[in-house]
Structure 1
Amino acid sequence: MQRVIGLITALFSFSTMALTPKLIVATGTNGHMLPAVSFLTNVSPAINSNGDIAFNVMAAGDAGVDSAIFFMKAGADQAEFQTVLTGGVFASDVSLSNNGLLAFGTHDGGSSQGSFGFNTATKEKTEIMELKRETFAMSGVSVNENGQYILRLIEDRGERANQKRLIVIDGQETREIIADKQDGVSYLFSHHVAGDNILFKVRYGEPGALGEGQPDKLWNYSISKGRFTPVALDRDAMPSSKIISIENQYGISRNGTIAFFAKTDAGVVLYLSNNDGMKVVLTEGKEIKNFDRFSPSVNDKGQVLLRGEDFDGKKTLFFFDGNSWSSIYKQGEIVSLDQKKYELSNSRGITFIGRPGLSENGEIVFNAILKELSSGEVLEGIIKLELGK
């Protein structure tokens, strides 16, 4: 049954203030804050602890499709254009620090082209590192409040073809944290960055030993301390572990609170790990039917946001407040935005796009397929649920 939502007051509240939905940008012939021909396909909007957000948009320009970066400060009325990439070069998802630093990789639709940092205060764009001949891919380009850039390189290093290296760039210094195809590391998975923390999964074994039967470990690396802290080990790494395998979806907050999916004897579960220990907070088939294979977002309070499917088969945004789960929005609901009504549509086979984001205040940003009810037009839109003013 559809519900018209103007103010979200019944689902949950933070500091006794309700969360209100705000349309940040939308595509379409009457696109909100965007040109008529624009795309938010595959975009995961970033949100920092303060509630600032950033994201990339593809839009038709004079000489083809351009890629633009937008930034919106918490409390602002609208997102502001920051910089544009032209000439068939596009931006990856944007990383956003608490002090307004941005980082993003660039590509031509297939191959990596570079990596850049951007200061939203000075409008200065800098190249993070020159694309070397042996480097054919960069991923997870991220930045923290200290101006340190973190990224994973995929390189052809002679006898180590397709070697993945996790590096930190701090001013003029480049430091390798870990690499696969050496030192007993078989495969280096993707990473997530929050403040001083880098969270990543490692598969161990000889080069080429990539099967699920290889030992897996989830690590939290402290940049300032240069210290690796184990978060979880599967049974291949530690036979007494309750974890059969660690999934590839995990997230971390600035104080080191971690949410990650794992396969156990009880099924696929979501673990929450913090200073109080590690506990299961969700099991597929119990609280929700299943989760979409996107990493959860987590904040210092242990609140978690994720995409999934409810028991009616509807795509849903689920929120964990530290004690229980609630449904934020789901497929088919009606949302009042910018004096118009939209249905959260599944007309393209999906409802939500990319990974939703969560701030320390419990503010939420997500990308979704919307159907404007008066015209029937289907479009993509970024929505922020923000604290009431």
Structure 2
Amino acid sequence: MTPPTASPDAFAALRFADFQRLIASSASASFAGQAFSVVIGYQVYQLTGSALALGLLGLATALPTLSLALLGGHYADRLDRRRILLVTRALLVLSGLAFAVLSLSGSATSVVLLFALVILMGFARGFGDPASSAFETRIVPPGAYVNASAWLGSVGQAAGILGPILGGVILAQFGASSTYLLMAALYGVSWLALWRIPRIPPAAPAGRDGVRASIGAGLRFVVRDQVLFGSMALDLLAVLFGGAIALLPIFATDLLAVGPSGLGVLLAAPSVGALVVMLWMTRFPPLRHTGRWLVLSVALFGVAMIVFAVSRVFWLSWLALAFSGAFDGVNMLIRRAIVRTRTPDDMRGRVGAVSLVFIGTSNEIGALESGVASHFLGVVRATVFGGLVTLAIAAGAGWRWQELTAWELEQEYKRHATSEAQPA
């Protein structure tokens, strides 16, 4: 297989002032979200002492976002995407302030209100996330899509590493209310950065289809495109069966005996691997044999999880998780490139929403699958089984979706360049 072709400019996307504002907004929002995930879980457990409450918290976080994603995608293709983002980020700022005020009471009776605010934030993300993924492509030209995705992904992974640390330190030193104020301030910075981006009018006039017909058109568009559908389905199945993040507390406690501190280091490992590969791909994007790289990254993800399952040495386990994050990072960047280059502008919100549902479903149901499989097979055999299934999925994808494996980003860029050069 030919190695990735070098990009002449690793900072191509960053040379656009509006993308600089977008990445500042994304960084602030990512750090705010990571800080929130630390404080809300800790606070709910402190108030209730219930593991069930933590499970319900995960449900309250995910369900509103996933249930509204398709509707959010519809409106992202009908309304001003920048305005949607400004409204939803403003709601997140207000939610942070409400959390801070509520946390001052410290009463267990406030748990219901905490959950209500979590659900409100989920609604905001359900509308905001599809608009965000669609808005990115209006900031940079098609030739910089992968570079922009790599930088945005790098910011997200850095937030995944440093955000929980920042949130935990603020929580330990100043309490929950101060941590929520920090979250609100970071979302405020994100709002200001978005506000500085000029309004970008839609590339095509808004459609007149009803909501149901509009959402159906988006779903049909994805299903009919073998490259789009194959990349999303491959990611969903790989994470559904191959992921084992939900089982890390068992590995850290019973198999590696590294305790809570070791668990934190293990949890950071996939983000470290993903961050490294995303920074690498700002300079060396996989322009040729891109579809093959996608399928190969899924297969190697499965291998990494098998190595992690059988390892009883901490450093080897950490490396295996880091490599799993690196291969998942390759998968994510290529999948995002496919979505951005193969979707017309008037469909970006709906296609982005479908992708969001695929990703959210794989993460949430994947955690459930890991728990059920480990209950019946044992944690090690369940993780090995998941890795083997992931290898089989990659092999099946290479056989079933041949158009996906033949897809090349370089050819997609040439197609865009040719269409832009043609007279209107």
Q: By the TM > 0.5 criterion, same fold? A: no
TM-score with structure 1 setting the length: 0.25
| Structure holding more helix per residue | 2
| Higher share in strand | 1
TM-score where L is the length of structure 2? 0.23
